[in-house]
Chain A
Amino acid sequence: DAGVIQSPRHEVTEMGQEVTLRCKPISGHDYLFWYRQTMMRGLELLIYFNNNVPIDDSGMPEDRFSAKMPNASFSTLKIQPSEPRDSAVYFCASRPLAGGSTDTQYFGPGTRLTVL
């Protein structure tokens, strides 16, 4: 199993530009989570999906952030327009349905975003 795949691993962009982060969950996993990690705020849940449907987006910081999951094997997190304070490491995680909320979330390697 390849694990959760995220791309790009590093992204450097200028303020005002659109940024798209991509995630491929583990095959067969029903849940997908997007997290953001910063020194100031630690690890925060932004949004999660169940069977491609967004369930809770209360952690999305602003309307500049949007996430989609068009099919079971792909999700995107988009920031438009980007700002320097969006600089962070963004993680995607997935988990299967079977174990319920106690089941393990499997994390991708993250995308390190730098907005200049």
Chain B
Amino acid sequence: AQSVTQLGSHVSVSEGALVLLRCNYSSSVPPYLFWYVQYPNQGLQLLLKYTSAATLVKGINGFEAEFKKSETSFHLTKPSAHMSDAAEYFCAVSDFGNEKLTFGTGTRLTIIP
């Protein structure tokens, strides 16, 4: 069964610094991978997704992620953190033809002024 592991339940970065949120997947077949963001008291919103096209995926709000098959990773990055990036971020995986999304445990990102 597919699964994702998010390393670090809490990450703090200074405003303007690089954001790096880690996600490793486990899947028996080439997966589809997603990053969602959840702002306080809101539902989840898609940031970006990998669906076996380009391995470097660009999303909204300046975020991007790179699919690395050799490392089974799909880490999320942003060159310069903004205060508005403070939220919880979830990595998720699904397989071709499988409607289910399996979510990681989430990483809470705090931005230090």
Footprint of B on A, CB under 8 Å?
4, 31, 42-43, 45, 48, 50, 55-56, 91, 93, 100-102, 104-105, 107-110
Contacts and interface: CB of A to CB of B under 8 A. Distances in A.
Task: Give the 6 A-B residue pairs with the shortest CB-CB distance, closest first.
Answer: A107-B43, A43-B103, A102-B51, A107-B44, A104-B46, A42-B105
A42 B97 contact: no
**Interface residues of B, dominant DSSP:** loop
B101 A45 contact: yes
B84 interface: no
Interface of B: 32, 36, 41-46, 49, 51, 90, 94-106
Contacts of B104: 42
A48 B106 contact: no
Nearest to A41: B105
Contacts of A102: 32, 49, 51, 94
Given A43-B90, A101-B94, A102-B32, A107 B100 contact: no
A4 to B, nearest CB: 7
